[in-house]
A and B are shown apart, each in its own frame.
Chain A
Amino acid sequence: MSLLEVTGLHVWFDLQQGGELHAVQGVGFDLDAGERFGLVGESGCGKTTTILALMGLLPPTASVAGTVALAGENLLERGERTVSPHRWKDVAMVFQGAMNAFNPVKRVGDQIAEPMALHEVADGAEAKRRVGELLELVGITAARADRYPHEFSGGMRQRAAIAMALACEPKVLLADEPTTALDVMVQAQILELLVTLSDDFGLALVLVTHDLPVVAQVCERAAVMYAGEIVESGPTTALFHNPRHPYTRLLFAATPDLYGDEDVASIPGAPPRLDRPIGGCPFQPRCDRAFGRCEEARPVLRSVADRHAAACHLNDLPQEVPAA
């Protein structure tokens, strides 16, 4: 049994004009303590929705199906009631654009200490001491706890957000684009910090990003998401050297390694709309290797090698050797 097991996760959103949007379509993955797992894809592919679903943070327009098992206990069993005791205590999160993750009118230290008191981890002077320790751990002097968020630089705020996520010693840390909007040097430092933390504390890390090279650098395993579903998953080395889905290959090709621009001109075309059923392969219109079957049948995720799975009809063709 793994620490975190996600199986058959679906998320739908009600649309204002009627109908619904199938944002996450049967996503599944698992990870153990101390393991680092990457979730990669273009914006709008359902990465963020997936991890918000793990924490039960979806808006009321959402409906969810599937199981999210934490150490064997299904968090989605009874919705809000079964998720809320685990929030921050067992599963914590570093949000996308952590610039705004802090309340501008409250001291950073108080905001880090807030969940401690709430989950009865520490209180008063003890909490204050722990806040100091956590800040030191992420490389911020403890005295800064009395400062307000606007007095921190972008990188420092992101570090503080990580310190806040560690407040209750969670087992799983979900990091949603933790390095976007930061400059390259700071990005590297933050990633290094995350790696150290998971090594030292046995923290299971889910790293959500659009940046495949970052995942290759940090994570042992990763899943590539497209149009709400996982199209390929496996060890990062395998994904990098032997991608078995054209989308993975194009994604690696489209992203510059380092010092790249924020919005790279990536794969031409746009992901399909998710408010209507998709007939064939969702990637078919943008795929450079699409053939007849891709338009007719939707490929399913199936094992292509040891712990390596992909959802592509090309893998069924014996003569085709998909190479990078």
Chain B
Amino acid sequence: MSVGPDVATGDIPAPRLRRPLDATWRIVKTQPRATAGFVIVLFFVVVALTAPWLAPYGVTEKVGPVFEPPSPEHPLGLDDAGVDMLSLMMWGARVSLVVGFAAALVAMLIGGTIGLLSGYFGGRTDTVLMRMTDYFLVIPDIPLMLVAAAIWGRSLSNIVIIIGVIYWTTTARLIRSQVISLRERVYVKRAHAVGAGHGRILFRHILPQVTPLIVANTVLTVAIAIFAETAIAFLGLGDPTLTSWGKLIENAFSHNAITVDAWWAIVPPGIAVALVILGCTMVGQAIEDTLNPRLRVGHLSVRRFRLRPLQGTDQV
């Protein structure tokens, strides 16, 4: 990037413009997995945000015959009620992503709090909280979710809370072990000796250190929550007033899309769910891997060290 002499303003020198670009390119080059995942998730978030303006039709608008195959006019065909699939997919993104992110947030708040308190205070607090976590971990999640959804009703907020309340356990455990190792670090002990209160130490010294881990875990939980939403919706326990990707799969299945070979009603929502889960998993795992020092060394490799003739070097 060259800055010509006619750049009169001069207060934005070229390197400053280049730096964010360079930094971005570095991340793309060293973290292709995270970048790909991020781009995928970003795409669907944009689709979800712009659905009200970009979706060609409404979600209840009958625009043609039942299960009409894809055409230039309706690239993803029509569903069992003659509604445009593309519009349904775009509106469905909103519900699926909201459930995913909101439930992950609930899980993060519960798991993060329990993990922080358990790891920081240790002792009896730790024992009680971890026992509780252990029990939660063992109880099979999806059946519990189904039972809860069946009993408490099928509103969106219920589903978000149920999913969030069930998936905090791994977050709590991870954060706890991280906090335990942080608690022993010198600067935390020093802060304690200087007289900083528990709240200050937790929020000023420990929380910033565990934030990357919490983020990684939350992103992974988004994937799990979206997965869980499709399961709940598939079993007829989704919010009946809203269209989500899980609901679209259920709808196509229960209206015999398979028997009439209407693959266009069933393939797109599954692929969309899979892509978002894939994206979140790639981002979350890339962060986790970067944070894991144990993955940096590998003592076994199919390739070996290379030999180099000395003549090629400028050494004596």
Whether the complex brings A and B within 8 Å at their CB atoms is answered yes
Q: A16, A17, A63, A66: which contacts B306 (Cβ < 8 A)?
A: A63
Q: Would you call B308 an interface residue if the criterion is a C-beta within 8 Å of the partner chain's C-beta atoms?
A: yes
By the criterion CB–CB under 8 Å, are B315 and A59 in contact?
no
Q: A16, A26, A60: which contacts B301 (Cβ < 8 A)?
A: A60
Interface residues of A in 54-110 (CB under 8 A from B): 56, 58-60, 62-66, 76, 78-80
Complex alpha-carbon distance, A100 and B301, angstroms: 20
Q: Would you call B71 an interface residue if the criterion is a C-beta within 8 Å of the partner chain's C-beta atoms?
A: no
By the criterion CB–CB under 8 Å, are B309 and A63 in contact?
no
Q: Would you call A12 an interface residue if the criterion is a C-beta within 8 Å of the partner chain's C-beta atoms?
A: yes
Chain A contact residues, CB within 8 Å of chain B: 8, 10, 12, 16-17, 25-26, 53, 56, 58-60, 62-66, 76, 78-80, 300
Shortest CB distance B225–A (Å) = 34
Residues on A with beta carbons closer than 8 Å to the beta carbon of B307: 63-65, 76, 78-79
Interface residues of B in 297-316 (CB under 8 A from A): 298-299, 301, 303-310, 313, 315-316
By the criterion CB–CB under 8 Å, are B298 and A79 in contact?
no
Residues on B with beta carbons closer than 8 Å to the beta carbon of A63: 305-308
Chain B contact residues, CB within 8 Å of chain A: 26, 30, 298-299, 301, 303-310, 313, 315-316
Residues on A with beta carbons closer than 8 Å to the beta carbon of B316: 26, 300
Complex alpha-carbon distance, A56 and B299, angstroms: 12
Given contacts A16-B30, A79-B307, whether A10 and B315 have CB atoms under 8 Å apart is: yes
Q: A12, A17, A66, A80: which contacts B304 (Cβ < 8 A)?
A: A80
By the criterion CB–CB under 8 Å, are A58 and B315 in contact?
no
Nearest residue, chain B, Cβ from A53: B305
By the criterion CB–CB under 8 Å, are B315 and A26 in contact?
yes
Complex alpha-carbon distance, A65 and B299, angstroms: 21
By the criterion CB–CB under 8 Å, are B310 and A79 in contact?
no
By the criterion CB–CB under 8 Å, are B298 and A65 in contact?
no
Residues on B with beta carbons closer than 8 Å to the beta carbon of A53: 305
Complex alpha-carbon distance, A76 and B305, angstroms: 11
Residues on B with beta carbons closer than 8 Å to the beta carbon of A78: 307
By the criterion CB–CB under 8 Å, are A59 and B308 in contact?
no
By the criterion CB–CB under 8 Å, are B303 and A12 in contact?
no
Between A and B, 11 residue pairs with Cβ closer than 8 Å are A8-B310, A26-B315, A53-B305, A58-B305, A60-B304, A62-B305, A64-B306, A64-B307, A64-B308, A79-B305, A300-B316
Complex alpha-carbon distance, A63 and B304, angstroms: 9
By the criterion CB–CB under 8 Å, are A60 and B305 in contact?
yes
Complex alpha-carbon distance, A26 and B309, angstroms: 13
Shortest CB distance B274–A (Å) = 31
Residues on B with beta carbons closer than 8 Å to the beta carbon of A25: 315
Nearest residue, chain A, Cβ from B300: A59
Residues on B with beta carbons closer than 8 Å to the beta carbon of A59: 298-299, 301, 305
Complex alpha-carbon distance, A56 and B316, angstroms: 23
Shortest CB distance A166–B (Å) = 22
Residues on A with beta carbons closer than 8 Å to the beta carbon of B299: 59
Given contacts A17-B30, A59-B298, whether A10 and B308 have CB atoms under 8 Å apart is: yes
By the criterion CB–CB under 8 Å, are A10 and B310 in contact?
yes
Complex alpha-carbon distance, A189 and B95, angstroms: 69
Q: B298, B305, B309: which contacts A56 (Cβ < 8 A)?
A: B305
Complex alpha-carbon distance, A58 and B30, angstroms: 23
